[in-house]
Amino acid sequence: MITKENIIKRFVSYVTIDTESDPTSETTPSTKKQWDLANKLAEELKTIGMQEVSIDANAYIMATLPSNVDYDVPTIGFISHFDTSPDFTGAHVNPQIIENYDGQDIVLNADENIVLSPDYFDDLLLYKGQTLITTDGNTLLGADDKAGICEIVSAMEYLVNHPEIKHGKIRIGFTPDEEIGRGAHKFDVEKFGADWAYTMDGSQIGELEYENFNAASAVVKVKGKIVHPGYAKGKMINSMYIAQEFINSLPRMETPEHTEGYQGFFHLHTMKGDVEETVLEYIIRDHDKGHFEARKEVMQKLTNELNSQYGREVITTEIKDQYYNMKEKVEPVMHIVDIAEKAMRQLEIQPLIKAIRGGTDGSQLSYMGLPCPNIFAGGHNFHGRYEYVPVESMIKATEVICKIAELTALEK
């Protein structure tokens, strides 16, 4: 039986290990501390009875649960990442266990008046009566994506201990640096050897996703000219004012806080500047490939117009594609989504099939030859102090993994 106590114990043992990734690092993994959990996971997989456990020089972990049927079944995979976001500290995570949640405010930190409230986070009300794991208000939790890892390991342990459940060969993979967009960069798809896989990296119970944003990053550098302000007339060029022109010329309502569903956006996430130079860092997102390309053209056209206006190159814009919408690669093999949906329905989970307003390792892996839809892991409010996960959702996600394995073998 997949017990609440075992899920909590395993999950807490993962989130209390700091694995924050670092976008400024050029190594893989980007931080040495990711090895602490990676090595623990490799040993744990051996302990629970997994075969062909490997951890490579970049901390990518793979393992096999051999088939227990005597006929051909597709090899499937389950994948999660063990790093946590650099958006908020993951050091000294101190999980709080809230039994039988009553639907009221949860005080995370009384001294600093940090409260997790359903008045603001109304999804909390979906989980009245359940057991929640929260932060203490000082860190993120790490359910993104240590909940996914917990569920995969727990499912494999359950299948090892219950050979009466028929399944084909199952491969699992754990990756570093997903939160900084590099989780799939050094993933060896050929070595993994699965026909398809699922990332356990979604949020609310029931989520099943095979569409995601097309994504790019943009670095806008604005050059100014510093002159003593007392003698600056006709000479000084203040890069911050030009940067402000650039910002204000983009569609104001096409930002994350004003968009939803399939709507794309421009997101200014970092700005640093002085008179001499200002640097703006954007991300560009859109589900529609044509609209995505148009957004990149808007930024480049604006750059050209401002350079023309000032009569010299005051702005340079460097745009780099990051990942693409996996829908193109998954739709030809939609049976892999159908199996996951059927598994949820058999477990009395209402599937929530929707587009991801973000990306996962699966989006990149799909373009690398491994079709890879995304399934809920249960957590909410990722990347911050208000993150939480219902234990019951983690149990259900574990059951979904087992059921997908069973249905794949039955529907051979």
Q: What is the pLDDT of residues 260-318, one digit of tens each?
A: 999 999 999 999 999 999 999 999 999 999 999 999 999 999 999 999 999 999 999 99
pLDDT value at residue 305: 97
Write down the H helix ranges in 162-238. 189-192
The question of whether 52 is a catalytic residue gets the answer: no
- 203 near 379, Cβ under 8 Å? yes
pLDDT value at residue 412: 60
pLDDT value at residue 32: 98
Q: What is the pLDDT of residues 335-385, one digit of tens each?
A: 999 999 999 999 999 999 999 888 788 999 999 999 999 999 999 999 999
Strands annotated E in 102-167: 106-109, 114-116, 132-134
Q: Which residues of 195-233 are buried (b: 16+ CB within 10 A; e: fewer)?
A: bbbbbbbbbbbbbbbbbbbbbbebebbbbbeeeeeeeee
Cβ neighbours of residue 80 under 8 Å, at least 6 residues apart? 145, 146, 148, 149, 151, 152, 174, 175, 199, 200, 201, 377
Strands annotated E in 143-274: 170-175, 196-202, 207-209, 214-223, 265-273
| Catalytic residue (one of 18, 20, 44, 83) | 83
Three-state DSSP state, 102: coil
The question of whether 178 is a catalytic residue gets the answer: yes
Residue 175 gets the label, from left (phi > 0), alpha (psi -120 to 50) or beta, of beta
Residue numbers of the chain with a pLDDT score lower than 70: 412
Domains and CATH numbers, the chain: 4-212+325-410 (3.40.630.10), 214-323 (3.30.70.360)
pLDDT value at residue 360: 80
Say how far apart CA 130 and CA 127 lie, in whole Å: 5
- 284 near 296, Cβ under 8 Å? yes
| Catalytic residue (one of 18, 151, 178, 286) | 178
- Greatest Cα-to-Cα distance within the chain, rounded to the nearest angstrom: 86
* Angle CA 139–142–145, to nearest 5: 160
pLDDT value at residue 358: 82
